[in-house]
Amino acid sequence: MTRGVGIDPVTFEVLQNAMASVVDNMALTVLRTAHSGVVKDAMDYSTALCDRNGNVLAQGLTIVLHLGSFPDAVKAVIDRFHGNINPGDVFILNDPYLAGGIHLPDIYVIRPVFTGTELECFVGVVAHHTDVGGIVPGSVRTQCRGGITSFLIY
């Protein structure tokens, strides 16, 4: 807990568990409704709750390889749409150079959460898709040119 926040340990623990419950329930919903074998059987997806600045508050109990990617993905949305993020918006992205360095087949769906007109936080899911097109089957070409990218071996 950060000093000076003014929250007692019991309240902090209740809030922490409430946020964890939200992202775990999101993960279970994705699992139950998925049609993709990669998502349903391999569970190659993650869910997260981020504050209004893109910092992760909680992440669902799914694949750990996505742990560090949500802040960059949400910040990419904030940077691109700053001042134009509204209730009901849904952002979908998979740019590996812009959003956390994950490879092209990992697609994010990010939604802002509002209280009235005030942006409170973002919820999101990232899921691996088998093939999203490109020069090679599976969408992962090791001879990519440009910025730094990550390659995951399954």
Span 53-63, pLDDT tens digits = 999 999 998 88
CB 65 within 8 A of CB 72: no
What is the number of other CB atoms lying within 10 angstroms of the CB of residue 66? 24
Please tell me whether the overall predicted TM-score, pTM, comes out greater than 0.85 for this model.
no
Which residues are within 8 A (CB) of 31 and not within 5 positions of it... i.e. 6 or more apart? 39, 40, 43
Instruction: Set out the domains of the chain in order of their start, with CATH numbers.
Output: 9-128 (3.30.450)
List pLDDT tens digits, range 106-138. Answer: 889 999 999 999 999 999 999 988 777 666 665
Q: Which parts of the chain sit beneath pLDDT 70? A: 1-5, 99-101, 133-154
| pLDDT score at 2 | 53
| pLDDT score at 149 | 39
| pLDDT score at 78 | 95
CA 82 to chain centroid, in Å, comes to: 18
- Look at the chain and count its residues: 154
List C-alpha distances in Å: 140 to 50, 126, 137, 150, 152: 28, 17, 7, 10, 9
| pLDDT score at 103 | 75
The C-alpha torsion from 24 through 46 and 26 to 52, rounded to 10°, is 100
